[in-house]
Chain A
């Protein structure tokens, strides 16, 4: 492991979020195996697909920085997707649709926040239960058959390419900058990091711990709804099956980015690169012919490894 006598460069590399190293390795691997894929247009299309995941990661990193977790984001996405694609909102304008979706996210996030912050229930249990309830409701309403199509306006927005960059990527980047500003420039961000460092000390230092946790969860719920909108626009049809792996991947990318339950140092850029890693990983695995189930195994192994590397490192310092 890292000793005092190790060169400072090694120290610095070892303290970086795992995502940066994984990203480099993946780029090299992709370049070696499938050089024809290293083309801005193709990569842009692939990265566009992970924009919902990227927005979800913003939600996850907010709560994980405050020593919480949100497993209900998958349920929120399912519900938003069902609301939009079930046909009930076809004659609504785009802002109305967005407002409804955000309302759902806000409500779920606020509920999570109140349960975690006020009732002090384990965040895992609350958000897992909320997720189960939400997906149960959606599956019951959908009654086994996939819902209908998505309004054309949402599709068009997704397909847009301002300045030749796919719109979802632009949207994702803007939101990331917003969250980074929230964490770095606002007092709220400081509150979140101090809770992450030590909730008890934060409380005695006058940080409104309850309020901050509730707010973090509420924002996370909103972000999940936004991710649901983008995801719905991207797949263009309704579906009752995509929650679980998105939740897993959002946690994985956040950990890869160096944020782990308050002890992290990755900021927003780390998880951002973590999401890009996932995009490259999907491309690489698809190019190498790895099947769906193999991807599941690979993902689990990667999260576990990233967490181990990070766990070991944080315990040494």
Chain B
């Protein structure tokens, strides 16, 4: 432990150590730098058209990352978000009216989260094993339902993403609404406080009378539900169903929260840090697209960033 480090306010701000929100200067700074660099390279970047495009590109990742945040705060990990997103888009394009499929996907996602949470909290299975096997189950179901991309979601779903009520773009409203939801949950409610407590130490949380199991299950249900929202958004945006569309979302949402300073060991993080991480990733993707980098190289770069970031987050335990 560095004594000096813990007393300097500037150091706390830069490193994010010793703070419960976890947000540190580096991701913010990197996001600003990427944005500035892109504004210089392309004159259309700051235009309202591109900004709203950018928000639409970032929205699904922001949604998924907010869900991932809930689980990471309690020291868990949800690898099934990507599969849930894929399944959601696949369900939305079955020929059924919107008032069946839209609530339907949320119910199914909540059920998936419920199973994840119960298996982890009550049956004592490691989160990684539980969500990894759930990934293959859900991914298989998505592929059974829709082997290749195609179909059209109900008109309302596309409308919900592409409309511009009162001149405000819909994706912007999605982001604002979900961030407010998550912020209320994490920072303004008893449940949020319990998330931090469980992440800090489940045993101690239990001694203080917190229903650890219920908090854990709720976190996984929320994570899946946020993923379903991301899936609805994506289905509306691409106006079809794709059983593979979510395949990178597990790793990207983990990257986003880790990048924002959320400690994967649990107990440290905030909505603002998750959003910062997601926005940075989206900006980076936008910039790399602008530079015409191959999608595969983009994956390599994102993976390397995740490695670099987690290498800067020292933990106590070795292993998982």
Contact = CB atoms under 8 A, between A and B. Distances in A.
B315 A304 contact: no
A67 interface: yes
A258 interface: no
A41 B120 CA distance: 42
B319 A121 contact: no
Contacts of B255: 129
Given A119-B311, A311-B123, A140 B297 contact: yes
A312 B140 contact: no
Interface string B246-259: 00100100110010
Interface in B138-180: 138-141, 143-144, 147
A213 B318 contact: yes
Nearest to A316: B124
Contacts of B265: 122
Contact of A121 (B138, B143, B315): B315
B300 A136 contact: yes
A229 interface: no
A115 B129 contact: no
A67 B318 CA distance: 8
B132 A209 contact: no
Main secondary structure of the interface of B (DSSP, over half): helix
A294 interface: yes
A311 B125 contact: yes
Interface residues of A, number: 57
A117 B298 CA distance: 28
A297 interface: yes
B307 A297 contact: no
Given A120-B315, A304-B134, A314-B124, A125 B306 contact: yes
Given A260-B126, A295-B140, A297-B140, A133 B318 contact: no
* Secondary structure class of chain A's binding surface, majority of residues: helix
A304 B130 contact: yes
A115 B254 CA distance: 17
B136 A213 contact: no
Interface string B299-313: 110111011001101
A107 to B, nearest CB: 14
Interface in B267-320: 294, 296-300, 302-304, 306-307, 310-311, 313-320
28 contacts: A115-B311, A119-B314, A120-B315, A120-B317, A120-B318, A124-B320, A125-B254, A129-B307, A132-B248, A133-B299, A133-B304, A136-B298, A136-B303, A140-B296, A195-B318, A195-B319, A251-B132, A255-B129, A293-B144, A296-B140, A299-B133, A299-B136, A299-B140, A300-B136, A301-B133, A303-B136, A304-B125, A307-B130
Across the A-B interface, give the 10 residue pairs with the lowest CB-CB distance, nearest first: A296-B140, A300-B137, A297-B140, A300-B136, A136-B299, A140-B296, A303-B133, A136-B300, A133-B303, A293-B143
Given A68-B318, A303-B136, 20 more contacts: A66-B319, A67-B319, A120-B314, A122-B264, A122-B310, A122-B315, A129-B304, A132-B299, A132-B302, A140-B300, A248-B136, A293-B140, A296-B139, A297-B136, A299-B140, A300-B133, A300-B139, A303-B133, A304-B134, A308-B125
